[in-house]
Amino acid sequence: MKVKKTTVTKKDLQWVTELAFEVGEFLIKKQSKISKLKVHHKEAQGVASEADIGAEKKILSAIKKRYPTHEFLAEESAYEIFKGAKERYEFLKEKEWVWIIDPLDGTNNFLNGLDYFAICISLVHFGEPILGVVYRPVQGDLFTALKGKGSDYQNVILKRSNKLKILKTEKTLSQCLLVTGFTTEKGELFDREFDLFKRMMGKSRGIRRMGSAALDLCYVAFGTFDAFWERGLAPWDVSAAGLICLEAGVHITSYEGEKFHPFQSTIVAARPKIKAEIDRIIKSS
User: Cβ contacts of residue 18 below 8 Å, gap of 6+?
Assistant: none
Cα(106)–Cα(108) distance, integer angstroms: 6
Q: Are 78 and 67 in contact (CB under 8 A)?
A: no
- Domains of the chain, first to last: 10-164 (3.30.540.10), 173-283 (3.40.190.80)
Print pLDDT tens along the chain (285 aa).
334 455 799 999 999 999 999 999 999 999 998 888 888 665 545 667 899 999 999 999 999 999 999 999 998 888 776 655 666 788 889 999 999 999 999 999 999 999 999 999 999 999 999 999 999 999 999 999 999 999 999 999 999 999 999 877 889 999 999 999 986 666 677 788 899 999 999 999 999 999 999 999 999 999 999 999 999 899 999 999 999 999 999 999 999 999 999 999 999 999 999 999 999 999 997
Is 241 exposed, middle or buried, given 0-12, 13-18 or 19+ CB atoms closer than 10 A?
buried
